[in-house]
Chains A and B, each alone.
Chain A
């Protein structure tokens, strides 16, 4: 079963043009900054908004083309809406049974099925609560169960974890991981959280300003991110600017906010505009004092803006010019007494910055 979409859709003046292909068992993360058009795209795929051009097909059936528009109610689609959109006059159980009742399943059978789903989502004990009485995590589980009850072929989750607090988020994320692993249809998860994208999905589609800027596996994107957003997402330093050869196999890269020394591709003898260069966060070394005799040609001072520690490595954002992301071990964080607001010197070798010339 495959979803194939190649479409142009609009919300007001805002236009989204995208081509997406998704297969059963391989969830896609649709990521992008706020206002990139993710929700517009989801609404088009769900059939809630007509497309302007293009085609959408699911499992070989045409849902949209120049002469066809299958409305949402006739698509086999389940949507988890950004703010859940539960029916607040119905109980959790009635919410989950709704999709079956609407399709003519008898009350008792629908309720039985809804109860099983609530059970598998660990919220069966809240079956008779109204949405206003549910916690954020409980309500999200109900919303997911509701979207799954009629066994849709296409599951669209619009920021399913964004409204949750940290604790509920990791619980529901784990649950969602299980759900997606066992889901027999095509799933697309919209998120702006890298952790969601990297843990819930096989492939990542990056949408920026209404266009897909990159699509691929996380590894593919990590090795060659196409945009600053994608680089941030997979945690790679990405610099774009004018490359100025300075001899000895080195070059200056003039970027917004500063200049760094990079290795110079051998065939470059004059300055080139629009050059992108990558630096892995693990290649950045941090010092608490200004290093005096380092072999690294880039030494930048800056204040630590944030530290994210996932137990194996700590990702540190520093407001150097240009800003840097560095990965160090949690042990180093302790040894160097790194914390937010501390001034550090970050250094990296020119040979570790790999410029990529524009096509």
Chain B
């Protein structure tokens, strides 16, 4: 904080503009919201979208955890030919346009897709189902968890794990009792970031899972639909998303905010 005084004015002005641009839409949402209609959020449409959103985003975060933590461990702890290619692949969804991710998922898991045919044969259908919405959200959200946890793994003190090894602990026991507990802060941060990303997912979801009320219509899709007919409802639902996002920020408080 001692650097406060030494910053050029231009830098401070640019920073102030950036913050204002972030704050203004929030203020506008609150100002333009039809507050007298707030009870309409309890109607089946918005309520269902909220429930679908919560279900899909939490499930996507869980999927990100189950697969993202192993990927982070492998990326941080192993070296092999093609390591950088694998790492690029794992993080690709970060830079891929979500709609492209959706098209790709259709090509892979659609009814006539590469893997989709096999899934269909054993009775698993992903496109245009809640499971598909979860897959689409997890697809775009997992790299965020991978990045966070990978940095955590690299910062670990390996000697703790070596100490556990000399004490006779199996690989699983070391992972369970030493590595994962030490990673807990990174994993929590990664989960929150991945969950927030899944909550806002739009492009991949609508492309791969469609926009079916009660099954795949999450809040962002409902907001988009309402914008065509009922701006007031769209704004109210947007504020609901803002409230949920704030939960994520508060959960991360002390990790990113309190620095």
Give every chain A residue within 8 A of B181 (Cβ-Cβ): 89
Give every chain A residue within 8 A of B159 (Cβ-Cβ): 81, 83, 85
Q: Count of B residues near A, CB < 8 Å?
A: 18
Closest to B159 in A: A85
Shortest B160–chain A CB gap in Å is: 5
- Assess whether A73 is in contact with B169, with CB atoms less than 8 Å apart: yes
With A102-B170, A102-B173 known as contacts, the answer to whether A85 contacts B165 (CB < 8 A) is no
Chain A proximity mask over B178-192: 1 for CB below 8 Å, otherwise 0: 100110000000000
Shortest A85–chain B CB gap in Å is: 4
Closest to A98 in B: B167
Interface residues on A, range: 20 to 34
Name which of B164, B166, B177, B181 has the most chain A CB atoms within 10 A of its CB: B166
With A87-B178, A89-B181, A98-B177 known as contacts, the answer to whether A81 contacts B169 (CB < 8 A) is no
Give every chain A residue within 8 A of B254 (Cβ-Cβ): none
- Assess whether B166 is in contact with A72, with CB atoms less than 8 Å apart: yes
CA distance A257 to B15 in the complex (A): 63
Residue A260 CB within 8 A of the other chain: no
Closest to B169 in A: A102
Residue A22 CB within 8 A of the other chain: no
Shortest B174–chain A CB gap in Å is: 8
Residue A167 CB within 8 A of the other chain: no
Give every chain B residue within 8 A of A98 (Cβ-Cβ): 164, 167, 169, 177
With A81-B159, A89-B182 known as contacts, the answer to whether A102 contacts B168 (CB < 8 A) is yes
With A85-B157, A89-B182, A102-B173 known as contacts, the answer to whether A150 contacts B163 (CB < 8 A) is no
Closest to A77 in B: B166
Give every chain B residue within 8 A of A174 (Cβ-Cβ): none
Give every chain A residue within 8 A of B177 (Cβ-Cβ): 87, 98, 102
CA distance A47 to B157 in the complex (A): 18
Name the one of B160, B162, B164 contacting A102, with C-beta atoms under 8 angstroms. B164
CA distance A284 to B181 in the complex (A): 59
CA distance A208 to B233 in the complex (A): 78
CA distance A89 to B163 in the complex (A): 14
- Assess whether B160 is in contact with A99, with CB atoms less than 8 Å apart: no
CA distance A73 to B170 in the complex (A): 7
CA distance A73 to B166 in the complex (A): 5
Interface residues, chain A, CB within 8 Å of chain B? 46-48, 71-75, 77-79, 81, 83, 85-89, 98-99, 102-103, 146-147, 149-150
Q: A98-B169, A103-B168 are in contact. List 7 more A-B contacts (CB 8 A).
A: A73-B170, A77-B166, A78-B167, A98-B177, A102-B173, A146-B163, A146-B167
| Nearest 10 pairs of A and B residues by beta carbon | A99-B167, A102-B169, A85-B159, A85-B163, A72-B165, A79-B166, A72-B166, A102-B168, A103-B168, A89-B181
Give 9 CB contacts A-B under 8 Å: A72-B162, A75-B166, A79-B166, A81-B159, A85-B162, A99-B169, A102-B170, A102-B173, A149-B167
